[in-house]
Structure 1
Amino acid sequence: MRSQVAELLFDIEAALRQLEMWDETPPPAEALASTQPFCLDTLSFAQWLQFVFIPRMKELLEAGLPLPTSCAIAPMADEAFRGMQLPLGDLLDALESMDRVLTQGGE
């Protein structure tokens, strides 16, 4: 399962870059300190993926710490990207796969 998660993190990053949603400059520390789910009040969903989700998941993988046992990122992505005229298929597929792998333990 851990290798699947690592591969999906790579896929999410690649999709964000392909969609030109990858920021070269991180947001201010205050924006990352939000207590709202997905940092809704301070970051776009793509920024949350890049600066919160991906780094935290990589930290868990590298430290050998337990991964979350449930995940529901894809529904938030559907909402956040609603109405965008972009080819989001690869990104949404990777997020749905991440939800499934974490929730089902890679089954």
Structure 2
Amino acid sequence: MSSHDELARALRELKTTLIEAELWEVSPPDPQAFDSQQPFCVDTMVLPQWLRYVFMARLQALVDARATLPASCAVAPAMEVWLKDVPASRREPVVRELAAVDRIVTQA
């Protein structure tokens, strides 16, 4: 299986996990929110918005185009911090699936 195929599968699994954790149904950010220069758009979006509308969308576009993937990826630690007050039953599956995405991108 190619790294693009592996990443496509991991993104589907991440989406399912975010839906189950009730973190997928976040409203789209305002168009100007995408102009942020801060990591994870922390000044204009909540992390689930950034994850869905920026991170996952960009990775899916790279998969679809079979384009070069980023050299590294480390989003899981940020999500773990953001979800620190969420019960482990919701937090751990999200962090685990994000760590899988991080690993696939970094090893590609």
TM-score by length of 2: 0.88
Give the fraction of aligned pairs with identical amino acids, expressed as a percent: 33
- Is the CA contact 2:36–2:44 (under 8 Å) kept in the aligned structure 1? yes
Taking structure 1 as reference, are residues 36 and 11 closer, same or farther at Cα in structure 2, changes over 3 Å only? same
> After TM superposition, what 4+ stretches of structure 1 lie above 2 angstroms from structure 2?
none
Look up the match of 2:35. 33
- What is the count of residue pairs matched by the alignment? 105
Aligned residue for 2:7, secondary structure, equals helix
TM-score by length of 1: 0.89
RMSD: 1.4
C-alpha distance in structure 2 between counterparts of 1:41 and 1:10, whole Å: 27
C-alpha distance in structure 1 between counterparts of 2:10 and 2:79, whole Å: 15
**Per-residue CA distance 1:52-100 (angstroms, 9 max, x = gap):** 0111011111112101121111111111111122522221111111111
Unaligned runs of 5+ in 2: none
Structure 2: which amino acid aligns with 1:7? R
- Is the CA contact 1:11–1:91 (under 8 Å) kept in the aligned structure 2? no
- Structure with bigger helix share is 2
- Is the CA contact 1:6–1:58 (under 8 Å) kept in the aligned structure 2? yes
Query: Please, which of 1, 6, 9 is the counterpart of residue 8 of structure 2?
Result: 6
Structure 2: which amino acid aligns with 1:2? H
